[in-house]
Amino acid sequence: MKASELPEKGKPKIKHRVSLRPFNTLSVEATAETFIEILEKEDLQTLYREGFFRKFDPFILGGGSNVLFRDNPSRPVLKISLKGIDIVAENDSSVQVRAGAGDVWHDLVEFAVQRGYGGIENLALIPGTVGAAPIQNIGAYGSEIEQVFSSLEFFDVQEGTFRSFTREECHFGYRDSIFKRDLRGRAIVTSVTLNLTKKDHNLITDYYSLTQRLREKGIEDPGIRDIFDAVVFIRKSKLPDPKEIGNAGSFFKNPVIPRDQFKQIQRNHPDIPFFEAAEGYIKVPAGWLIEQCEWKGKKVGKTGTYEHQALVIVNHGSASGKEIYQLAERIQSSVFEKFGIALTPEVNIVG
């Protein structure tokens, strides 16, 4: 599709042969044949009218912090850059804040913390955009976006209309939502609205490393800012900064396995950490499983796993998407051979 094929008014910004390296935190080289930046909601309607969504199944890109470009994407890339943080409703005790899908998630967390709005302080410093946050129901330190989620707006590429979904309609699960399933490829999130508290905050502090940090600082009665500061401190000390070393955070989801299978594994590995999941199921930390297979801190060519967290696959410089993908496959095979558990990538594999 050429830019000249589109009408002047509401013309989206179309570029060709764009390097995606600056657009993914794993810092993998890949080229997008067509790269379209969406700066206005009208751009989506323009593309729809031009038949773009009938001809193409574009890859929707936010901050690229949960993506592995295994190869050059064969589809056009649509970078969502819709911005604007607004308060849409407010009373004495709560506030509804809406943010554009292209806003940086951490900017929204800072916006809230600075004003004393509670609800997303545990989700500080998660890379990426607001629009991607509900796609995998981002979560950290005992909290998930679904707990404060009010609604989102998305562009339905089949209908060519903007639609709104409530929390129930998003079918949130562990790193999961309807947008990864039934609506995959159909919904482009344009904005997200959250319900935050102005008083009587529902503070979550019972996450091990968070409790430890607050204790270390001598904070007995923490507020939103204390939790925010503690989370920022812990994340900076435990996770690699993508600006310094390419990574996409946790590469795999923590597997949820039947209790019987867990009991069997526990017989041979009595120290296996675990969390109760849904009735009859147990969640096991994927990082621990990978570490048991002796992958922690291992280098394989230009890729490897992070020295302090085996669950994070890193790019030591110029690893290709294929190399990283192959390492992920090797890790999956080792874990399956040793424990009979199939790890599923949390990262979205493209190309």
Ligand X SMILES: Cc1cc2nc3c(=O)[nH]c(=O)nc-3n(C[C@H](O)[C@H](O)[C@H](O)COP(=O)(O)OP(=O)(O)OC[C@H]3O[C@@H](n4cnc5c(N)ncnc54)[C@H](O)[C@@H]3O)c2cc1C
Residues forming contacts to ligand X in the complex (CB under 6 A) are 25, 59-67, 80, 101, 126-129, 131-133, 135-136, 138-140, 187-189, 239, 242, 247-249, 348
CA distances from 70 to 2, 58, 98, 219, 328 (A): 26, 16, 34, 45, 11
* Residue 180 DSSP SS3: helix
List own/partner pairs for 172-175 with CB under 8 A and 24 or more apart: 172/134, 172/137, 172/144, 172/145, 172/146, 173/137, 174/137, 174/139, 174/253, 174/254, 174/256, 174/277, 174/283, 175/136, 175/137, 175/139, 175/253, 175/346
232: Cβ contacts below 8 Å, ≥ 6 apart: 124, 125
Catalytic residue among 121, 144, 153, 346: 346
Smallest separation (angstroms) from ligand X to the CB of 115: 22
Among residues 61 and 97, whose Cβ is nearest to ligand X? 61
DSSP class of residue 302?
T
> Is 175 an annotated catalytic residue?
yes
Among residues 103 and 226, whose Cβ is nearest to ligand X? 103
Smallest separation (angstroms) from ligand X to the CB of 313: 11
Smallest separation (angstroms) from ligand X to the CB of 246: 9
Among residues 131 and 255, whose Cβ is nearest to ligand X? 131
Among residues 61 and 95, whose Cβ is nearest to ligand X? 61
Burial letters for 79-96: b for 16+ Cβ neighbours within 10 Å, e otherwise? bbbbbeeeeeeeeeebbb
Catalytic residue among 143, 175, 177, 191: 175
Smallest separation (angstroms) from ligand X to the CB of 180: 7
Structure-token match 């290709």, residue found:
320
Catalytic residue among 151, 191, 250, 320: 250
**Mind spelling out the 3-state secondary structure of 50-104?**
CCHHHHCCCEEECCCCCEEECCCCCCCEEEECCCCEEEEEECCCEEEEEEECCCE
> Is 90 an annotated catalytic residue?
no
Smallest separation (angstroms) from ligand X to the CB of 242: 5
Among residues 248 and 290, whose Cβ is nearest to ligand X? 248
Smallest separation (angstroms) from ligand X to the CB of 260: 29
> Is 346 an annotated catalytic residue?
yes
Among residues 265 and 331, whose Cβ is nearest to ligand X? 331
List, by residue number, the catalytic residues: 175, 250, 346
